[in-house]
Chains A and B, each alone.
Chain A
Amino acid sequence: MSLSVAIEHRAGDFRLAADFTTQGRVTSLFGPSGSGKTTVIDVIAGLTRPLRGRIAIDDLVLLDTDRGICLPPWRRRIGYVFQEGRLFPHLSVRQNLLYGRFFAPKGEGLADFAAIVDMLGIGHLLKRRPRLLSGGEKQRVAIGRALLANPRLLLMDEPLSALDEARRQDVLPFLARIRDEAKVPIVHVSHDLSEVIALADHLVVLDAGKVAAAGPLAAVMARPDVAPLARRQDAGAVIELFVAGHDAAAGMTLLEGAIGQLAAPLRPLPIGAACRIWLHARDIILAREAPHGLSARNILPVTITGLLPHADGSRDVLLDCRGQPLFARVTPAAVADLGLAPGQSIHAIIKSVALA
């Protein structure tokens, strides 16, 4: 599937001019509050009509203001999971789930009710009324309701934001299962980078109504101009690896990728499984000489490609490790003491526990 969006919109003082294309299975729209994320997916769903623009899924044009095309929401067949669930209060959970199927075109293979109910773990809730559900249960039912309408595309507007941390951890694995088991592409809105990294393969970064960056997740995360948009403590690089082996006695899992080998705490994954880690800038230590007698297991040879100052005085050192960009956050004093400069070859040290 390919989704292309090019829209211009104005609401009061807010101006939105978003233009991106994505082929991702899960595309995240990421950015600070007020950057226009929800407006973008409201426009994709047809709930907001933009001033100008064009939206297409593969060859199907949903909106083209130049040609006067604007499909109404009920003809777009785009599922939408809202922040607050929006379950129908007068219907039971089962009736909520089946609501969209009633309107789905007949003849096509219908989404499998039992499989989706099972995947979301909501079988025991079917007879209940929405008001008797917890926040996490409501969101799971809302996701099931959207999937059972056989959508071409599933939109999710911060599906976890109304939940507390424990509930989030309950629902997040279900989102990952939908990504892997349901064959529906997802566009997902979030301001939480950990959620994005857990789910997305494509990333569109929005800032003040404009697309700041768009593309495959790891490539976008590697761009230094994107890092400042993440909350300060969240800056870091995303690295794609696979499981090379386990050392149960030492409690370690060996991960391997383009950058070499990394030792991480034991992970319950089969050998060969893909694995994505998020290496925070603040978890990397820099050394000029290859160190000895350290407890840290992971020492990577890297080249400095740039220095990025922050408003608070700290610096992000941009690094390259066999083509994989990394970030390390250090104090100005450390930059001076080590004499860090672009082009220099140094060592990046990463504690294994930082890779948990």
Chain B
Amino acid sequence: MLDLSPEELTAIGLSLKVAFWAVAASLPFGILTAYVLSRGRFPGISILDALVYLPLTLPPVVTGFILLILFGRRGPIGAFLAEHFGIVFAFRWTGAALAGAIMGFPLLVRAVRLSFDTVDRRLEAAAGTLGASPVWVFLTVTLPIVLPGVLAGVIMAFARAMGEFGATITFVSNIPGETQTLPTAIYTLTQVPGGDAAAFRLVGISVAISMGALIASEYLARRLGKRVE
């Protein structure tokens, strides 16, 4: 049943790679943003809040189009990064990862922020009296306590990045071996005669990966949750 063609295997591998880097690269920013949104008291915080959650409400095609304009070869950010750092997003797998990161970001931030909101600030004060500076308090008290929330956010963002379609296909198109991920591969297969069987196989794999991620996160969250109860 699972005799996958090399193209299908490539799409699966690429999807995992794209989703992994999307989450890994956005995680530090996600934690920082969540911390600022949870603790920050400054004018304009509601604008930041809205900006972070925007990809959740915008049509993905719009997000993809904005990315294309900003990060394309001639886009202001894309041109700058290509010239000074040699980082190119347009029509590369890195672009798919960027699209996945942007789409998963609100889910990541939301989960982590809810965790920060529940942290007992008095524990942080206690750590301060024991000699820990604010950075150490964050690393040794706050972060370990919010770990279950971070984990939940990571899984949600990973799943979102795996499933990203609209923004990806708009931004980096659907190039086999470079930007063709599971969803775009399935879409392609449904467009050709006789592609149904292959589409079914990939759908099955999609379902398996998503289920596996959810079960794993549930299990880990419960174990971590027990520790910090």
Binding site for B on A (CB under 8 A): 45-47, 72-74, 76-80, 82, 84, 86, 88-90, 99-100, 102-104, 129, 131, 145-146, 149
Q: Which residues of A contact B131 (CB under 8 A)?
A: 74, 77, 100, 102-104, 149
What is the distance, in angstroms, from B147's C-beta to the closest C-beta of chain A?
8
Q: How far is it, in angstroms, between the C-alpha of A100 and the C-alpha of B128 when the chains are bound?
A: 9
Which of these, B126, B133, B134, B227, contacts A80 with CB under 8 Å?
B126
User: With A82-B122, A90-B228 given, is the CB distance from A47 to B136 under 8 Å?
Assistant: no
Q: Are B136 and A103 in contact (CB under 8 A)?
A: yes
Q: Tell me the nearest residue of chain B to A42, going by C-beta.
A: B125
List the 3 closest pairs (A to B, CB-CB), nearest first: A103-B131, A100-B130, A80-B129
Q: Which residues of A contact B123 (CB under 8 A)?
A: 86, 88-89
Nearest chain A CB to B124's CB is how many angstroms away?
A: 10
Q: Which of A86, A102, A129 has the most chain B CB atoms closer than 10 A to its own CB?
A: A86
Known interface pairs A74-B133, A149-B131. Does A86 touch B227 (Cβ–Cβ under 8 Å)? no
CB-defined contacts of A131 to chain B, threshold 8 Å: 229
B208-229 vs A: 1/0 string, CB under 8 Å? 0000000000000000000111
- A-B contacts, 26 of them at CB < 8 A, read A45-B129, A74-B128, A74-B129, A74-B132, A74-B134, A74-B136, A76-B129, A79-B129, A82-B122, A86-B120, A86-B123, A86-B125, A88-B141, A89-B145, A89-B227, A89-B228, A90-B141, A90-B144, A90-B228, A99-B132, A100-B130, A100-B131, A102-B131, A129-B227, A149-B130, A149-B131
Which residues of chain A have C-beta atoms less than 8 A from B133's C-beta?
A: 72, 74
Assess the A90–B145 pair: CB atoms within 8 A.
yes
Closest chain A CB from B229 CB (angstroms):
6
Residue of A46, A89, A90, A103 touching B130 (CB-CB under 8 A): A103
Additional A-B contact list (19), CB under 8 Å, known A72-B128, A74-B132, A82-B122: A72-B133, A73-B125, A73-B129, A74-B128, A74-B133, A76-B129, A79-B130, A86-B126, A88-B123, A88-B141, A89-B227, A89-B228, A89-B229, A90-B227, A99-B132, A100-B131, A102-B131, A103-B132, A146-B129
Complex formed: what's the CA distance from A306 to B123 in Å? 50
B227 with A47: CB separation less than 8 A: no
Q: Which residues of B sit under 8 angstroms from A45, Cβ to Cβ?
A: 129
CA distance A84 to B123 in the complex (A): 10
B125 touching A99 by the CB < 8 A rule? no
Contact of B127 with A by CB under 8 A: yes
Count of chain B residues with a beta carbon within 8 Å of a chain A beta carbon: 21
Asked if residues A145 and B130 are in contact (CB atoms below 8 Å), the reply is: yes
Interface contact B128-A47, CB-CB below 8 Å: yes
The distance in angstroms between the C-alpha atoms of A120 and B173, with both chains bound, is: 67
Quick one: closest B residue to A150, CB to CB? B131
Do most interface residues of chain B lie in helix, strand or loop, or is the interface mixed?
helix
**Are B127 and A47 interface neighbours, CB within 8 A?**
no
Once bound together, how far apart are the Cα atoms of A27 and B122, in whole Å? 24
Contact between B229 and A82, CB atoms less than 8 A apart: no
Q: What residues of B have a CB within 8 angstroms of the CB of A46 in the complex?
A: 128-129
Chain B positions within 8 Å of A90 at CB level: 141, 144-145, 227-228
Q: Knowing A82-B122, A90-B144, A103-B136 are in contact, say whether A47-B129 is a contact too (CB < 8 A).
A: yes
Residues of A contacting B130 in the complex (Cβ-Cβ under 8 angstroms)? 74, 79, 99-100, 103, 145-146, 149
Instruction: Return the CB mask of B12-32 against A: 1 if under 8 Å, else 0.
Output: 000000000000000000000
Complex CA gap A46/B127 in Å reads 13
Contact B128–A73 (Cβ < 8 Å): yes
Q: How far apart are B130's CB and chain A's nearest CB, in angstroms?
A: 4
Return chain A residues, CB-CB under 8 Å to B229: 89, 131
Closest to B130 in A: A100
When chains A and B are docked, how far (Å) is the Cα of A84 from the Cα of B120?
12
B141 touching A47, Cβ below 8 Å: no
Smallest CB gap from A79: residue in B: B129
> Once the chains are docked, how many angstroms separate the CA of A99 from the CA of B136?
11
Q: Could you say which of B122, B123, B126 has the most chain A C-beta atoms within 10 Å of its C-beta?
A: B126
1/0 contact trace for B139-157 toward A, CB 8 Å? 0110011000000000000
User: In whole angstroms, what is the CA distance A82 to B121 when docked?
Assistant: 13
Q: Hey, which chain A residues are within 8 Å of B228, CB to CB?
A: 89-90
- Of residues 154 through 178 on chain B, the ones whose CB sits less than 8 Å from some CB of chain A are none
List chain B residues, Cβ under 8 A from A84: 122
Question: Can you name the residue of chain A whose Cβ is closest to the Cβ of B141?
Answer: A88
A162 to B169, CA, bound (A): 61
